[in-house]
Amino acid sequence: MNNSEILSVLLNSDKELIIYRNSDKNNFEIYTDFAEKVNLNIGNLDKFLNKLERFKSYKPYDCYIGFFGYELLCKNINLKVNKDNSSFPEGVFFRPQTKIILDKQVKIITKSKSKLLKDLKALNKTTSSNSNKISVSPNVQVYEKIFNKFKKNIRAGETYQIKIAQKYSNKKDLDVVNLFFNLMKKNLSPESFCVRTNDFNIISCSPENLFKVKGKKIITSPIAGTVSRDKVKSTKEARKFFENNQKEDKEHNMIVDLERNDLSRITKANTVKIQNLKFVQKYQYIFHNVSEISGTLLDNVRLSAVIKAMMPGGSVIGCPKINTLKLLNKEEKEPRRIYTGSFGYYRSKQDMSFNIIIRSILNFQKNNEVFAASGVILDSTAKNEYHENYLKAKSLLDLLK
Amino acid sequence: MNLLLIDHEDSFTYNLAHLLSGFGNLEVKNFYDIKEKSIKKSDIIVFSPGPGKPSDYPVSLDIYNNYKSKKKIIGICLGFQLIANGEGGTISKQEKIFHGYQTYIRTNSKSLRFPNNALYQVGRYHSLKLKEPFNSSSMHITMRCEETNVAMCLESHKYDICGLQFHPDSFLTPNGKQFIRKIIQYKK
């Protein structure tokens, strides 16, 4: 088999794998042959992070890649969360022994090619389509109640910005790898990834990096502000739109200060700099307003301190982060699981990257779930934001039909 | 010089910490986790911004009342409101809410730390404001919002106390460090 054939067999098998978009190199990386799989919970998180600190990758395929779920990240900063009665893991990291780079050519870097070939048993998936009916939680009445409660919280200064999440779900088997590449043709987001395991699957077209560490430098690129490309035609028009839109502009300011703050917890004094303030990124259907902020990590900063300071990512939660999370966890009844958690890789203390998991489908125990959230704005109505959430989730919901 | 920054779990506290760190040994403590020892050894107590209203933080109010005549005290945003509250002022909701705004403020002749009639551009994050009339024999409003006239700075003429309703720590406040320097270098 040549490399393309190996890849094709792998993708069409049911072997556990992760596909990760590398936007710096404009290609996809496929990780498989997992030598290790760590299911995380609040009891073993610190131990795992300590282990990572001692880990250093010497091979291109060697790394830990996976995610921290929202509930785990909340518990990590001593916040109460809703109980998830399912067996869904609060976080999982994999240590691959094979990395396949899907570029113009297919490149395979593996510990053992003979093992890889032996393992590849092409198995056709059973695709028994179930109900396509999509249910929503909270429903519009409950959503409106929470929305109006949060408006009061804003008036009282208890939160300055808060984003209510909604869950859309249905039951249907998914051919995750095919769906992922179909989605990529339409919506090639910089932080896209796909996870296929025996227990669950994830398809994500996240646009947002939470932080990257390169050497001593840490960089975050929060997104705050979105406009449909039906509404504005060019990047220049989008820039004007964001400048003129008071609401979006102020929200963006708040997120810039919040991220400066979170970086300041783990960086040397006066090294936090706004590298790029409010620049426009273009996607298939939307424009985003993005800023880039960096800092120099403290000497001997602990990985656990970095995770505590940065996660969950503030731009998708609101501000101030702690009290806003408390308010959200009190009102929201559905466990968010992967939503607003972080997915990424760790190669060494000087080389890691994590995104914010949004615009994602989680397929678990025959159930598919998509979350979307939007901010509570004093001069907006619950019905508007409820509809806005639906629009945000729509391209993913189309995949579930 | 030892500075104690009391963190009311805000998402802006550490921006302030970086501003303060150049002026001495800085210790940052959560409002629910302050030891008497930290307070005793500090020369300056700084009350951070934070969600909610002063009465949500009775321990911080106690610290203010116990140390206002003994140490230099600085309050930012909620910290400003804590000072106002400690001086008998009322904190109330305002019509227009300022979250993430950059506005102009102006100083007046009552200021001991800043030049009279100076105009500054500042970043703001507050739902609440100091209700007026605010009557205090020793505490004076020394800066106001150009647009709404809302109180932006409180300075004591009796003790070494200064509170700012705006955020010198925000990127929306150019030269935010100047405000901190003037307050710290001021000698009663």
- What is the C-alpha separation between A106 and A88, in angstroms, rounded? 33
pTM score, whole prediction: 0.96
Identify the H or E element spanning B60.
helix B58-67
Q: How far apart are CA A275 and CA A293, in angstroms?
A: 5
Distances (CA, A) of B108 to A131, A169, B87: 69, 59, 20
Of A272, A314, A323, the CB nearest to B9: A323
CA atoms within 13 A on the CB side of A349: 18
Q: Which residues pair with B129 in a beta bridge?
A: B92
**Per-residue pLDDT of chain A in tens (401 residues, 90 and over written 9):** 899 999 999 999 889 999 999 988 899 999 999 999 999 999 999 999 999 999 999 999 999 999 999 999 999 999 999 889 999 999 999 999 999 999 999 999 999 988 888 877 655 555 555 667 889 999 999 999 999 999 999 999 999 999 999 999 999 888 999 999 999 988 889 999 999 999 999 999 999 999 999 999 999 999 998 888 889 999 999 999 999 988 889 999 999 999 999 999 999 999 999 999 999 998 877 899 999 999 999 999 999 999 999 999 999 999 999 999 999 999 999 999 999 999 999 999 999 999 999 999 999 998 999 999 988 877 778 988 888 888 888 888 888 88
Q: Which of A251, A253, A269 sits opposite B172 (nearest CB)?
A: A253
Q: Where are the domains of chain A?
A: 3-216+297-400
Residue B9: list chain A partners with CB under 8 A: 320, 322-323
Residue numbers of B annotated as active site: 77
HSE at residue A236, side-chain half, CA atoms within 13 A, is 0
DSSP E strands in chain B: the ranges are 2-7, 25-30, 44-47, 72-76, 91-107, 119-130, 139-145, 151-156, 161-164
pLDDT at A186: 85
pLDDT, mean over chain B: 97
Q: Is A269 on the interface with B (CB under 8 A)?
A: yes
Q: Which domain holds residue B178?
A: 2-185
Give the 3-state DSSP-derived string for A55-66, with helices as H, strands as E and coil as C: CCCCCCCCCEEE
Per-residue pLDDT of B95-116, as tens digits, reads: 889 999 999 999 999 999 999 9
Q: Provide the pLDDT for residue A67.
A: 98
Token pair, residue A241, equals: 């739109």
Number of domains making up chain B: 1
Prediction ipTM score: 0.97
Give the C-alpha separation, B162 to A102, whole Å.
60
Per-residue model confidence (pLDDT) at position A390? 87
Q: Do A261 and B127 touch (CB under 8 A)?
A: no
Rounded Cα distance between A138 and B185, Å, is 54
To 10 degrees, what angle do helices A321-331 and A140-155 make? 150
- CATH at B121: 3.40.50.880
The topology under which CATH files domain A3-216+297-400 is: Anthranilate synthase (3.60.120)
**Is A320's CB within 8 Å of B11's CB?**
yes
Q: For residue A257, what pLDDT is reported?
A: 98
CB pair distance less than 8 Å for A260 and B171: yes
| Closest-approach residue (CA) in chain A for B28 | A265
Q: How far apart are CA A48 and CA A45, in angstroms?
A: 5
Q: Are A288 and A280 in contact (CB under 8 A)?
A: yes
Q: Is A189 part of the contact surface with chain B (CB cutoff 8 Å)?
A: no
pLDDT at position A129: 56
Contact (CB<8Å) A257/B18: no
List chain A residues with CB under 8 Å of B50.
320
DSSP percent split of chain B into helix, strand, coil, nearest 5: 25, 35, 40
Give the chain B residue whose CA is nearest to the CA of A267: B18
Contact A320 B9 (CB under 8 A): yes
